Amino acid sequence: MDEKNLPGYVSGFDPERNIRELGGIEARDGRRVRHGLLYRGSTLGNLSDEERAGVDGLGLACIFDLRAAAEADAFPEYIPEGTAHQRVAGMYGPDGAEMDFSPAAIARMESSGGEPVDIMRALYLSMVRDNPALHALVDHLKTHDAPLYFHCSAGKDRTGIAAALILTILGVDDGTIIRNFLDTNIYRAEMISNPPDPLPPMFPTKELWVQANEVYPANLQAVLDAWGTQGPSREHFLQEEFALDQDTLSSLRSFYLH
């Protein structure tokens, strides 16, 4: 499938950047996410002139960066004039350090002896509770800090979990959330199927390259399960973790849905 046919497609960007909006996604109550408020993607670094104009055209109020400090320092991004910027690391390694997905960090993960998919699932689950980035993201939602662009390096793992949380708050069902998550594999299809030759040292086989650059539904499903089943259990989690009571949820849905 061509990414241009997917919900949320935003023109003017290289598909590999995985830039799209949540606008148009349907919630369980039949309302849809308003267009032009919530955007997800990868880092806004090394933009072409067309892409920079595309970012300017979004009229962003805030860019929320889920990368580790080392990633942000190594790949500075474009911040339009008048756009606020906040960086809060979204994922942490077993040692408590910010997970930066550098070659050294990937080597440390590989040295743990686990399968790459299992390691990534463990990292996903590390974001479930007491995650400072997700709490800061919810604060942006509460203050209607939109249009909001949230991203990590590739716009797939940390960003995918952040998008899942936003859509959960807005009352979107899990199947729709997972389909949005898996659209990453369509946006990045050419990159995934055509690895560089030679492969980077941290990916000695094409299989490892694919595992590192695709997303897998079971990983996000594990996060959704950890947040509780849909309905009262999930809303109990939102209240317990983010202090989102029914009145606050209703207010957020009134602003972001129509």
Looking at residue 215, its pLDDT comes to 95
For the chain, percent of residues with pLDDT exceeding 70: 94
The residue ranges of every structural domain in the chain are: 3-256
Kindly write down the DSSP assignment for every residue of 181-203, as one continuous string.
HHTHHHHTHHHHHS--SSPPTT-
How large is the average pLDDT for residues 120-138?
94
The contacts of residue 161 (CB under 8 Å, 6+ apart) are: 90, 124, 127, 134, 220, 223
Residue 135's alpha-carbon distances to 1, 139, 141, 163, in angstroms, are 35, 6, 10, 13
Encode burial over 124-139: b for 16+ CB neighbours within 10 A, e otherwise.
bebbbeebebbeebbe
Confidence of residue 106 (pLDDT cuts 50, 70, 90): low
Kindly write down the DSSP assignment for every residue of 94-119, as one continuous string.
TTSSB----HHHHHHHHHT-S-HHHH
Q: Select the more confidently predicted residue: 131 or 120.
A: 131
In the block, tokens 């899942």 appear at 164
Confidence of residue 120 (pLDDT cuts 50, 70, 90): confident
Looking at residue 103, its pLDDT comes to 63
Q: Select the more confidently predicted residue: 115 or 166.
A: 166
How large is the average pLDDT for residues 31-37?
98
For the chain, percent of residues with pLDDT exceeding 90: 78
Q: What is the pLDDT of residues 75-89, one digit of tens each?
A: 999 999 999 999 999
Q: What is the pLDDT of residues 2-31, one digit of tens each?
A: 899 898 999 999 999 999 999 999 999 999
| 113: pLDDT strictly greater than 70 | no
- In 3D space, the residue among 101, 191, 90, 93 whose CA is nearest the CA of residue 131 turns out to be 90
| Domain 3-256 belongs in CATH node 3.40.50.880 | no
Phi, psi of 135 (to 5 degrees): -65, -40
Residue 149's alpha-carbon distances to 40, 55, 214, in angstroms, are 6, 10, 22
Specify the amino acid at residue 124. Answer: Y
Query: Which stretches does DSSP call E strand in the chain?
Result: 20-21, 38-41, 62-65, 84-87, 148-151
Instruction: Look up the pTM and report it.
Output: 0.95
How large is the average pLDDT for residues 136-149?
98
